[in-house]
Amino acid sequence: MGKQTGFLEYERCENREIPAAARIRNFQEFHTPYSAEIRRQQGARCMNCGVPFCQSAMKLSGMVVGCPLHNLIPEWNDAIYKGQDRHALARLLKTNRFPEFTGRVCPALCEKACICGQYDEPVTVRDNELYLIETGYRQGWMEGKPPVRESGRKIAVIGSGPSGLSAADALRKRGHAITVYEREDRIGGLLMYGIPNMKLDKSVIARRQQLMEAEGIVFRTGVNVGKDLQISNLREEYDAVILCCGSKQPRPLQAEGMEGTKGIFYAVDFLTAATKNLLGSSHLPAAMQAKGKHVVVVGGGDTGNDCIGTVIRMGCKSVTALEMMPKPPAERKADNPWPEWPKTLRTDYGHTEAIQVFGRDPRVFSTTVRKVFSEKGRIKAIETVQVTFEKGKLVEIKGSEQKLPCDLLLIAAGFIGAEKQIPASLGLEMTGRGVVSTPEGSYATNIPGVFAAGDMRRGQSLVVWALAEGRACAAEVDASLMGYRNS
């Protein structure tokens, strides 16, 4: 696939980034695409490898290698190289209906499994994917296409995050009437309110909503199922109900002095409020404003990084990111060979911006919050302590305590499961991880006609996994309603 000698002739060329000093002045997306000519060269780098791990989604050492959607990457890279953009887009959309999302926020499992990356730099799969979908919208190729025949079956999807959108899209194409319920004022779930605008412009979600509505999908926002509308009523009205409510119970921080102290927030609540403020839906509470404040973020994942980028744009006085785990190595270790996911240090956009603004990497590894200090009920400082793991147990290192100024503490320590209201009202079986239990390889719950997909079933994961779960769940729902599989 691609040009036989392309990987020898052309170097990897990622989409350009606006320099950190300029991009932190606003919340606009900061990646700018290259020309079609450059994309042809990048498509040409795709090798005619015997085993394309990039699209395999196979398990190695307990980790998935390659794309969970099984995208036909070598095929559409070859088509890009040959200038066949519309055909390339068609091959991409066959497996991934939402490349405008994955092309922006996916960590590119495919690229980590690209054989070019074993000795050189991998193919720019994610940038190529984004080029195709944006070309499709620009050329008018992305049109709403309602199904030719209606099945007469009605399905309710609860939650409009990536798994809900994926399930709704696939089932509508089978002719089913789809209504998607979302408790927020806009669709998208964490795509809308968990990922900041500079990473995923919210107009991209609105554009996709218009396309799905043109195909006949109904979105009902501002409806909190279980409170505004009883789930029992939906079960009576619809032939099937799909739960895509996410895994939104945040992991609490255990530190002395937190209870009742103002200025401490869970990261997603903070990011949600920041985005709503940006979109004009509501004003950011004064306690959440970061301007002129010392900010500490607890958690070293993508959400923690997004918090760093957000508070820098708000004009924080300083930002420190605490991570309980030890600092990863700069290079792969011998026990982490290609094509496994590289367990190496990754410096993301927020870290780069903090280095630009404050002259240092904001991350402090093997450290957590031990105590919170407050004045008149408001947080003013924290005490940190270094930690280590002994026989799998977290242990504090005596004498390592430090006191840091902190006016705003953001907890980005992950999630511990799905919210309980809907599962409890339905009597759903849950796993020990706090998510909905389904048989292995199935999305059906213990309640007939009720299915679950995405983080609510899988636990906190990536957008690409949510899209894959939604599509697979849709196939099972369709088979249960129609009596056969269309796959």
Identify whether the C-beta of residue 2 lies closer than 8 Å to the C-beta of residue 47: yes
The answer as to whether 254 is a domain residue is: no
Amino acid identity, residue 173? Answer: K
For residue 55, give both structure tokens.
Answer: 């699209």
Nearest to 301 by CA among 445, 195, 450: 195
Residues 12, 124 share a domain: yes
Q: Is 57 exposed, middle or buried (0-12, 13-18, 19+ CB in 10 A)?
A: buried
Identify whether the C-beta of residue 420 lies closer than 8 Å to the C-beta of residue 247: no
Please give the Cα distance from 256 to 38 (Å, whole number). 55
Residues 123, 21 share a domain: yes
Question: What's the N-to-C CA distance of the chain in angstroms?
Answer: 26
Q: How many CB atoms lie within 10 A of CB 235?
A: 17
For residue 93, give both structure tokens.
Answer: 């959309």
The answer as to whether 259 is a domain residue is: no
CA dihedral 382, 383, 389, 393 (to 10 degrees): -80
pLDDT on residue 1: 65
The residue assigned the tokens 């890279």 is 77
Cis, bond preceding 339 (omega within 30 deg of 0)? yes
The answer as to whether 1 is a domain residue is: no
The answer as to whether 144 is a domain residue is: no
pLDDT on residue 456: 98
Three-class SS state of 234:
helix
The answer as to whether 80 is a domain residue is: yes
The answer as to whether 148 is a domain residue is: no
For residue 214, give both structure tokens.
Answer: 């043109």
Q: What is the CATH number of the domain that holds 44?
A: 1.10.1060.10
Q: Is 376 exposed, middle or buried (0-12, 13-18, 19+ CB in 10 A)?
A: exposed
Residues 407, 269 share a domain: yes
Residues 421, 401 share a domain: no
Residues 20, 78 share a domain: yes
The domain total for the chain is 3
Please give the Cα distance from 371 to 384 (Å, whole number). 7
Residues 340, 355 share a domain: yes
State the Cα angle at 98 between 94 and 100, rounded to 5°: 125
| Low-confidence residues in the chain, pLDDT < 50 | none
Residues 221, 297 share a domain: no
Q: What is the CATH number of the domain that holds 453?
A: 3.50.50.60
Among the three residues 380, 411, 442, which one is the final residue of a domain in this structure? 411
Residues 232, 171 share a domain: yes
Among the three residues 394, 411, 428, which one is the final residue of a domain in this structure? 411
Nearest to 343 by CA among 355, 327, 321: 327
The residue assigned the tokens 């409020």 is 273
Residues spanned by the domain of 242: 154-248+416-482
pLDDT on residue 253: 94
pLDDT on residue 25: 97
Crossing angle, helix 125-138 and helix 36-44, to 10 degrees? 140
Question: Rg of the chain over CA atoms, in angstroms?
Answer: 23
Q: Is 371 exposed, middle or buried (0-12, 13-18, 19+ CB in 10 A)?
A: middle
Please give the Cα distance from 368 to 325 (Å, whole number). 9
Residues 431, 407 share a domain: no
The answer as to whether 258 is a domain residue is: no
Q: Is 37 exposed, middle or buried (0-12, 13-18, 19+ CB in 10 A)?
A: exposed
Identify whether the C-beta of residue 85 lies closer than 8 Å to the C-beta of residue 39: no
pLDDT on residue 63: 87
pTM: 0.96
Among the three residues 138, 168, 193, which one is the final residue of a domain in this structure? 138
Residues 362, 421 share a domain: no
Identify whether the C-beta of residue 242 lies closer than 8 Å to the C-beta of residue 451: yes
Residues 342, 359 share a domain: yes
Please give the Cα distance from 37 to 83 (Å, whole number). 9
The answer as to whether 120 is a domain residue is: yes
Residues 422, 400 share a domain: no
